[in-house]
Amino acid sequence: MYGLVEIFESLQGEGRNTGRPCVFVRFAGCNLACPWCDTDVSRRFELSLDDLVKEVRGYRPRSVVLTGGEPTIQDGMPELVLALKESGFWIAVETNGTNDVSWLAFVDYVACSPKAEFSDSLRLSHADEVRVVASSEGIANFCRDVRGRIDATDYYVSPCDRDGEIDFATAKAVLAELDGWSLSVQLHKIMGFR
Ligand code: SF4
């Protein structure tokens, strides 16, 4: 059984796939505790593999984002990825990068959001995109460190959202110190969609 918080359809709000219609599967639980975390990761319901795939297939998009929480700490993910692939889905995973699990090689897109407070726990060495939250101006040093540790196509800085206040100023200051990084806004928060 998979522990879940919610399943819903929306547009991807961040990174290179911004604007792509997707089904979001938010798994319960996380192995980190970021101080600014605004994600409710408490388990609300469970679904079997068959019921989860059936639920995802019930939405219109043929793209699915496996997110959390932290999806890589769930059991049964290789089976889920295989079943979604057999159903024709494009699959993206959003991870904090602390588990370099083998099934990530079988998804279409990996977005890694490493956390400076837990940099010793970072294990992932490849991703399609990296997104770092600009929680302080000093985060630029962490971004440089991450760039040396994770091979990715795109590197993004995201503004920190503290209780609904989106801190663009710090993100701008961080980007001014970096080469090859761009801003990824959380479009869903700015535009007011889920
Ligand atoms: S990794 Fe993500 S879900 Fe987990 S505590 Fe940090 S912000 Fe929250």
Specify the DSSP element, H or E, that contains 112.
strand 109-112
Query: Global pTM?
Result: 0.95
Give the residue extent of every domain in the chain. 2-191
Instruction: Give the residues of the chain that fall short of pLDDT 50.
Output: none
Note the pLDDT of residue 165.
87
pLDDT value, residue 109: 98
Mutate to test the pocket of ligand 1, among 5, 6, 26, 34 (most ligand atoms within 8 A of CB): 34
pLDDT for position 135: 87
Q: What is the pLDDT of residues 104-150, one digit of tens each?
A: 999 999 999 999 989 999 999 999 999 999 988 889 999 999 999 99
Give catalytic status of residue 30 as yes or no. yes
3-state secondary structure of 189: helix
- CA 163, 138, 184, 30 torsion: positive or negative? negative
Nearest CA to ligand 1 atom 7: 37
Decide: 98 and 122 in contact? Cβ < 8 Å.
yes
CATH class of 2-191: alpha beta
Nearest CA, atom 3, ligand 1: 69
The pLDDT, as a whole number, for residue 26 is 97
Q: Is 38 a catalytic residue?
A: yes
